[in-house]
Chain A
Amino acid sequence: MNTRNLISITDLSKSEILDLITTAQEFERNPNQRLLEGKVVASLFFEPSTRTRLSFETAVNRLGGRVIGFSDASTSSQSKGESLKDTIMMVSNYADLIVMRHPLMGAARYASEISKVPIINAGDGANQHPTQTMLDLYPIQQTQGRLDNLTITMVGDLKYGRTVHSLLEAMHHFKPRFNFVACDVLQMPEQYKQFCREQCIPYTETADFSADIINQSDIIYMTRVQRERFSDLMEYERVKNLYTLTASMLKDGKPTMRVLHPLPRVTEIAQDVDDTPWAYYFEQARNGLYARQAIICRALGIPVK
């Protein structure tokens, strides 16, 4: 297997994560480096995700590379019944790197076993989205100056939220403390709590998004509570409001504390938070570009000075 693939965040060691962050910092200082001159990157989106695709394609363009691919499987030969294997075999003849998003879990892992060129997983169904996790780690480093010994409060949908699970797994290298804030039906699944216990990571679990929790946090990681998760719409309305962050709730927060959100947000962060010094989610999205540039260069084995 090609070791430069990025399929799951758990494939990365602590030092590989730190190397990617250092490279991303390089790109933040100087985003336009023509390191991909003459390279072709295939962007294969078997399901649409405009936000992720634009971020990757921008990263390739700012590095001077070229992009081929498709943004929706209905325009590709997949809709004619071509197997994933055949598509990957064909494209790996043309491109130097494949960035792929697929609705089926494990699709990227399988692709990495048959591809001649490295694969970056840009999301495989409900399974993994490792570049999003790097996008979450990078702003934590940038705002706190470190990843070690931080108190991270995760709020909202902790049950189905893929991003919180991957962030939890990635942070285990860095001695974190977690607060899990969610209503009963959206609690952190047992397997991740068990993982914390095995790794001796302290955590608290509460349904109460209290001032006390907010004030001890270094990072508040907000997630979207989706209506589809509730059979009872009244319950949804109640929960949605309970876990909405407003500027007044932050008034006694640590000055260095920052609020992150994988975006798009709906109502879980009130607009009045945007203008506070704690808001960092828009910068987080911009930083995603640097993280993805770093991931692309790692995949192609291109050193960044």
Chain B
Amino acid sequence: MKKKELAVAALKNGIVIDHIPCASLFKVVDLLGLEHLDKSVTIGFNLDSERLGKKGIIKIADVELPKEVLNRIAVIAPRAVINIISDYEVVDKHEVTLPDELHDIVRCNNPKCISNNEPMSTRFHVVHRDPLVLRCHYCERKVDHNEITLK
């Protein structure tokens, strides 16, 4: 694969998450727990993008994250692109894919749901992908894409 210039300074080894909507950028940081990481993390905000107008980008050095962890961000950044960098080369590049079930990512909006009243994980089923509609595994209520709140 050819060496490819990315919008921010080059990364030797690690992961670049590109095409994140600006509104979701810091939620993605949260979701991946990057503030607890001891690796160098570069966050780009309000960068010009042909696809999104403005976009966010996250570069994480010297780290490998499992696919299922990276796919979690599809809930809030469905078109985000993952670039795996090795020795300055993009060795893998793919869009995130939303899993069929979301474990402990989204909070249920129903105050009468058991998941908001017990110390427990949440669980949602993806009932529709575009636009995103989720169903709580417990109270069975549906959540539309514009109502999704992260845990």
Residues of chain A having any CB pair with chain B under 8 Å: 8, 83-85, 102-107, 109-110, 124-128, 191
Contact = CB atoms under 8 A, between A and B. Distances in A.
B119 A83 contact: yes
A105 B119 contact: no
Interface of B is mostly: loop
Contacts of A127: 139-140
Contacts of B140: 8, 105-106, 127-128
B127 to A, nearest CB: 11
A106 B119 contact: no
A84 B137 contact: no
B112 A105 contact: yes
Contacts of A128: 140
Contact of A109 (B112, B117, B137): B137
Interface residues of B, number: 16
A107 B141 CA distance: 13
Given A8-B140, A109-B137, A128-B140, A104 B113 contact: yes
Given A8-B140, A110-B138, A105 B114 contact: yes
B120 A125 contact: no
B115 interface: yes
Nearest to B136: A106
Contacts of B141: 105
Contacts of B139: 105-106, 125, 127
A84 B110 contact: no
Contacts of B115: 106, 110
Nearest to B110: A105
Nearest to A85: B118
A105 B120 CA distance: 14
Contact of B113 (A8, A84, A106, A191): A106
B124 to A, nearest CB: 12
Interface in B103-137: 110, 112-115, 117-120, 136-137
Contacts of B136: 106
Contacts of A110: 114-115, 118, 120, 138
Interface string B77-121: 000000000000000000000000000000000101111011110
A191 to B, nearest CB: 8
Contacts of A102: 114
Given A105-B114, A110-B118, 9 more contacts: A8-B140, A83-B119, A103-B112, A104-B113, A104-B114, A105-B113, A106-B136, A107-B114, A110-B138
A104 B120 contact: no
A84 B119 contact: no
A127 B110 CA distance: 11
Contacts of A106: 113-115, 136-140
Contacts of A105: 110, 112-114, 138-141
Contacts of A124: 114
A104 B136 CA distance: 13
A190 B146 CA distance: 19
Give the most central of A83, A106, A107, A109: most B CB within 10 Å: A106
Nearest to A84: B118
Contacts of A109: 114, 137-138
Most buried by B among A84, A107, A125, A128: A107
A106 B114 CA distance: 6
Contacts of A85: 118-120
B48 to A, nearest CB: 42
A126 B114 CA distance: 12
